[in-house]
């Protein structure tokens, strides 16, 4: 909600406005002026500044770090935010994490593919995935926020695209 909406929101919720804000919401504050936009217009503006997931299509864009043995791969996502969670990665899963470190290698070896929020071509995830010939997409910025544990995701490792197939 923005500044003048709390009282009116208590009286009646505008479903059309809520649906537009589910797509995207942008609030711009400049020189004592506040503007906002919702829906597709907001998504267009946001994409100019951020790596925004296409929520309607469930698509995330990243950087191809390794194509691996397959250009297209589908599997179950396992979100690992700390080294304590690495044990939940099973053979064939897709490891989704903020970034990897040498402690993650045991999970990387089990995983069929890797997706990270941060990193580039010289990141740990990129180097290890190339050595192990596993598909890897890095620098998505939002994978751990958009993908949930157990989601079925598809990597298009030739294009750097991750698609959430089933939540």
Are 155 and 162 in contact by the 8 Å Cβ rule? The answer is yes
The single residue of 36, 72, 124, 148 carrying the catalytic annotation is 124
Q: What are phi and psi of 138, to 5 degrees?
A: -115, 170
Other CB atoms closer than 10 Å to residue 2's CB: what's the count? 10
Specify burial of residue 11 (Cβ count, 10 A radius: 0-12, 13-18, 19+).
exposed
Query: Any catalytic annotation for residue 124?
Result: yes
CA–CA separation, 26 and 8 (whole Å): 20
Closest CA to 106 of 93, 120, 119: 93
Residues acting as catalytic residues? 124
């Amino acid at each position: 909600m923005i500044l003048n909406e709390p009282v009116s929101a208590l009286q009646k919720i505008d479903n059309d406005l809520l649906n537009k804000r589910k797509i995207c919401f942008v609030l711009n504050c400049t020189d004592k002026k506040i503007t906002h936009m919702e829906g597709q217009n907001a998504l267009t503006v946001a994409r100019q500044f951020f790596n925004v997931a296409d929520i309607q299509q469930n698509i995330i864009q990243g950087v191809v770090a390794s194509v691996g043995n397959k250009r297209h791969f589908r599997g179950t996502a396992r979100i690992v935010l700390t080294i304590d969670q690495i044990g939940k990665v099973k053979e064939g899963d897709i490891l989704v994490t903020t970034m990897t470190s040498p402690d993650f290698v045991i999970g990387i070896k089990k995983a069929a593919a890797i997706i990270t929020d941060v990193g580039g071509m010289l990141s740990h995830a990129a180097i290890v995935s190339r050595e192990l010939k596993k598909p890897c997409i890095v620098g998505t910025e939002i994978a751990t926020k958009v993908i949930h544990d157990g989601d079925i995701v598809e990597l298009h490792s030739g294009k750097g695209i991750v698609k959430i197939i089933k939540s």
